[in-house]
Structure formats: structure tokens, C-alpha cells
Amino acid sequence: MTDRRRFLRNAVLAMGGAALAGCDAISQSDTGAKVLDSAEGVTRRVQRLLSPSTALAKEFTEADISPVFKANGSTLPDTPEYQALMRDHFAGYRLDVGGLVARPAQFSLDALRALGTRTQITRHDCVEGWSVIGKWTGTPLGAVLDHVQPRPDARYVVFHCFDHIEEDTPYYESIDLTEARHPQTLLAYALNDATLPVANGAPLRLRVERQLGYKHAKYLRRIELVDSFARIGEGRGGYWEDNGYEWYAGI
């Protein structure tokens, strides 16, 4: 448990749960009700109470950048679809954004760049216990959402990836709209001023800097706005969540 986690848990105990009574939209759906019941839901809600939704993850300087940015999990998706795109240096890549949006769209990497760009030097913390600092450049996810216009019933952003860890179980992840609109949440296409390497998720991967490594979906294939992730994968909001990890992986 990180110091922050421990601190949050103590904060929950100190408040006796009373401060959590003013529930928001999360209690309105079946999935939300389940999340709220769990300790994890409490952690997330306390974290939101203690740090405003706009709080930034720490940013570092050029001098702090790790000499090598370790790659983890999938490092070379083997599906024919991905292999074909890779052979062509991703020239034919299009990110499909759909689901509960007014204007579904497909974006080339140039189209994404045209929506806006941000660079940040941040620390990546893997649940396995290692960290690396890297410089990321990408399009703020908020700018993409502004373009596709989520419908009022949209609550989560789901990231479908090209790779799978087990046969026929594609990697996927999800975050809520608050996290999606956070200024440091990027669809990143560059690492340390170079085109994103295949091992780190080319051509496009998520950066969601206030959460652990497994939330940062690599090899983005499709983004889907949903009102619940109950019917996606095994229903827990991500590949690793379906295998027991927490959905809100706050650092």
C-alpha cells in the first residue's frame, strides 16, 4: 500500500464515512452502486474529496528523464491487423471514437495533432513496484471529447487495444469522464521527443498520470463512450481489473 493509499484509508476512518453521504451520479446506475459499496469506491470518493479533480500529477525536468523507459506487458502485438499497420509505419492508422457521442469520428495521427498538443515529464509507476520518468507528447483527451461531443448519458471512456495477453481476450481499460478531461490525460504519440516506440504502445497510448501503469492503455485501437462497462470484457472495466486489480488505481 502506498503512503497515499494509507493516508486515504486513515482519512476514511477519521471521517467515519459521514462526508461521503452526498453521493453524486455514481449511485444512480447498477455499476455505480456496486462500486460505491466496495472499499475501492470509498477510496476513490475520498481521493476526489481531498484533492480537486484538477490537481496535477507531479511534473519533472529534462534532467530527471530515465535513460531507458522500461517496456512492460505486451511489447509487440501479434495480430495481423496490427502487424499490417506496423509494416506501413502506421500511415493507415485511424483511431475510431464512438459509442455515446453525438459525432462519432475517425482520427488520423495528424488529425489528432491538429486538435491540440501537450508535453509533460511524468513518473510512471507500475504495480509491480518499479518507476520510470519519461517525457510524453500527445493530444489531450479532453480535446477529442470536445470534438465528438459525449451524450449526457456517457459516463466512462473505454479504450480497446490491438493486443491481447490471453488468447481472444483483448487488453482494454476505462476511466471516468472527470479523469478523461483532466489536463494531463493524453493520447500520446511521442516519448522523449521521438515517435512512440512499438514496445511502449505505438502508434498511440493513453497517459493518465494520477493512476498506476496498467491504466495507461497502449496500442489504442478504438475508444468507446459508455454509460456502464458491465457488458465489456468480464465487466470490471479493464483486462487487469477482470483479473482482480482495482478499477481506480490512484497513486
Ligand X SMILES: Nc1nc2c(c(=O)[nH]1)N[C@H]1C(S)=C(S)[C@@H](COP(=O)(O)O)O[C@H]1N2
Examine residue 77 and tell whether it contacts Mo ion (CB under 5 A).
no
Examine residue 36 and tell whether it contacts Mo ion (CB under 5 A).
no
Amino acid at 202: A
Examine residue 142 and tell whether it contacts Mo ion (CB under 5 A).
no
d(CA 163, CA 221): 9
Nearer to ligand X, 42 or 217 (CB): 217
d(CA 209, CA 232): 24
Q: Which does 161 bind (CB under 5 to 8 A by kind): Mo ion, ligand X, none?
A: ligand X
Nearer to ligand X, 32 or 250 (CB): 250
Shortest Cβ 125–ligand X spacing (Å): 8
d(CA 101, CA 109): 20
Which secondary structure element, helix H or strand E, spans residue 240, and what is its range? none
User: Long-range contacts: 192-196, Cβ < 8 Å, 24+?
Assistant: 192/65, 192/69, 192/134, 192/135, 193/135, 193/137
Amino acid at 244: G
Taking CB under 5 A as the rule, which mask of x and - marks residues 185-224 in contact with Mo ion?
----------------------------xx----------
Residue ranges in contact with ligand X by CB under 6 A: 70-74, 126, 161, 163, 165, 171, 200-201, 213-214, 216-219
Contacts with Mo ion, residue ranges (CB under 5 A):
126, 213-214
